[in-house]
Structure 1
Amino acid sequence: MLRNAQYLRMRTSQVLPRGQQFYGGTALYFALFCDVAGRDEQTIEAFWASIARFWGAWYRRQDYYQQINQLRGVMGKAPANGLSEAHAVGVYSRVAVFQDESGQKGHSQVLLTLRTENTQALPAGEFDQFELPFCNGHILVPDPGYGAPVVFLNNVLGLGFCFREGTCSMHCYTVEDARLGATQTLTEVAEALVSNVDAPLRAYAATIPVNQR
């Protein structure tokens, strides 16, 4: 890793604007991060719990797993999903649901990521507006920057979600109350989200090949 860090520092100095500093410690952290991304899921989670979660209050668990899985994709490895509470994969996106950092019961963090192998050929504007699914016992709230206004068929204005740079982040609030009926599982929530992304994009599959895996 030390050798890799030095190479990264040299390479970065070649591509960044002249005069912009890239410190060796940053290069070393990146080298370590890349090494962790290639490990087993228990090591990935342990790195989050012991090191990465302390990088700053702005750095969330879904941010960490998004970056880990981006690197795993480059390495040709499967996404690290085993330690999420629930996950689902659609044609055009994948969803992972994590326990909220507060540890409060009924609070979850949700990360949606576009499957770039299937979306890179689609028009960029197609990812600016999606409807939030109705999932009994759950309220889905997009994080700042990921909300989008939606006008429904009955001319009612509501809140939807959008992708920014290939991702969308939201929170899920879960309530179990007999008056509401059976609360859907988090897996069902994840599946409903990927379905709501797939539905408006499905027509493209007739002309643009997709990877179903």
Structure 2
Amino acid sequence: MIKKGNAQPDPDIPTGELSTSMNIKNMQPATVQNLERISAAMRIARSAMARTIMDVTMQDPLRLFCISSSLCDALDQEVARAAGATLKQDWFDADWPRTTNAAWCSILGLESEDDMNEVLLRAAPALSLRARQTLQYAVWIPRGIAMTFALFVETSLRGIDTLMRAYREILSPAGIGLATVLRDASEIRQALLAPPLMLNGPAGALGKYCRCDIFSPPDYQHGAWRAIVTLDALKTRNVRNAATRQFELPVLERRLITPDGPYGLAVPDGEGWKMGFCFREGRAELHLYSNGIAEGENPVTLQEVAETLCAGVDSIFSGHDGDAHP
């Protein structure tokens, strides 16, 4: 039971603002004891500690939206059904802490419930896809999960600059790798018929059947790069020839190219085998290094690497034009 008093000035609140007194009854003894213990440790009054906890909880716009929005509640249930998981019943179970919610609002410029509602509506068609990307083994999922997914979808749609900021400030500290972020964002953009994700790296090439982007992730050292080769889905979707399932890595002077783990594949090399690469869900991710020489002195430019990778993929697919769309 809560009794509310009249608004009155509070010495702990900035001048010009009003506070409201509340008497809270029927609290569980264990809760009161914990509150007293924490208050003593922090050397502040019990009432001040309780007020701080309530203020912090009730001044998180994103969490309050997730609690109060009927649309978010309905989409939470849709996500739970898509994932085959159970939605938690406690309203205070949220997927992100308050500081992370504040970071999302800053990155996406969310200033009102209308802004949050628009983000949720735009992302609704991709929520089931996001559930497949992240909730494969989930048993319980928190309330507000639809908004959590919507924030990532919106970030993906806004482009690489917004996506990289979210990666640096939120996703990377949460243990989510850059390769996963880029893969998931690209899948979402493709599902929503948005243009391919432009990585804004120092080099890129467009072939007949693919494109290659080379960039340096924030945690990479100088001279180390990541190359992402993406197939043109329209031109390659009907190709079923086994020859298009394995690709050789180009051999270039002073360049070392290796596949990222899941994209590595042994390919024939005379009577033996050598490391090549393959595509998974229309993309291949490779590591690229300047080998034994400073990047600025390397005789093979990053642009030449991108063009060589595209040419190698195109040469394989061009032999099966009858199986691919023109």
TM-score tier by shorter-chain length is: 0.7 to 0.9
Q: What is the CA–CA distance in structure 2 between the aligned matches of 1:62 and 1:84, rounded to whole Å?
A: 15
- 1:194 corresponds in structure 2 to 310
1:132 equivalent among 245, 249, 252:
249
SS of corresponding position for 1:188:
helix
In structure 1, the residue matched to 2:325 is: 209
CA contact (8 A) 2:159 2:198 kept: no
* Greater relative CO (CA pairs within 8 A, separation 6+): 1
Query: Structure 2 stretches of 5 or more lacking a match?
Result: 1-64, 87-138
The change in CA–CA distance for 1:197 and 1:49 in structure 2 (over 3 A counts) is: same
- Once residues 90 and 6 of structure 1 are traced to their aligned partners in structure 2, the CA distance between those partners, rounded to angstroms, is 45
From the superposition, tell whether residues 70 and 39 of structure 1 become closer, same or farther in structure 2 (CA, over 3 Å). same
> What is the Cα deviation at residue 25 of structure 1?
4.2
Change (3 A) 1:41 1:163: closer
Match runs of 1:45-84 below 5 Å: 45-56=164-175, 59-84=176-201
Contact kept, 8 Å, 1:84 with 1:98, in 2: the verdict is yes
Q: Secondary structure at the match of 2:319?
A: helix
Structure 1 match to 2:93: none
Contact 1:86/1:190, CA 8 A, preserved across alignment = yes
- Equivalence for 2:156: 37
- Report the residue type matching 1:16 in the other structure: A
Cα deviation 1:12-44 (Å, max 9, x = unaligned): 233333654333343222100111122244323
Q: How many residues align?
A: 205
In structure 2, distance between residues paired with 1:183 and 1:37? 35
* Structure having the larger proportion of residues in helix: 2
* 3-state SS in 2 of match to 1:51: helix
Distance in structure 2 (CA, Å) of the matches to 1:157 and 1:130: 12
C-alpha contact (below 8 Å) 1:61/1:101 kept by paired residues = no
Q: CA deviation at 1:72?
A: 2.3
> Gapped runs of 5+ residues in structure 1?
none
The verdict on how the C-alpha distance between 1:61 and 1:96 changes in structure 2, with shifts beyond 3 A counting, is: farther
Amino acid at match of 2:79: T
Q: Kindly provide the amino acid, as one letter, of the partner of residue 141 in structure 1.
A: T
Give 1 or 2 for the bigger CA radius of gyration.
Answer: 2
Q: Is the 8 A contact 1:62 1:111 kept in 2?
A: no
CA RMSD of aligned residues (A): 2.8
Match of 1:185 among 294, 301, 322: 301
2:226, 2:286 within 8 Å by CA — same for their partners in 1? yes
Q: Secondary structure at the match of 1:110?
A: strand
What one-letter code is carried by the residue in structure 2 that aligns with 1:144? G
Name the aligned partner's letter for residue 310 of structure 2.
V
How far 1:190 sits from its partner (Å)? Answer: 1.5
Q: Which residue of 1 aligns with 2:11?
A: none
Task: Compute the TM-score of the two structures, normalised by the length of structure 2.
Answer: 0.55
Q: Is the 8 A contact 1:140 1:172 kept in 2?
A: yes
Divergent runs of 4+, >6 A: none
Q: What amino acid maps onto 1:159 in structure 2?
A: M
3-state SS in 2 of match to 1:94: strand
- Which residue is 1:12 aligned to? 79
Report the TM-score, using the length of structure 1 for normalisation. Answer: 0.80
Partner residue, 2:107: none
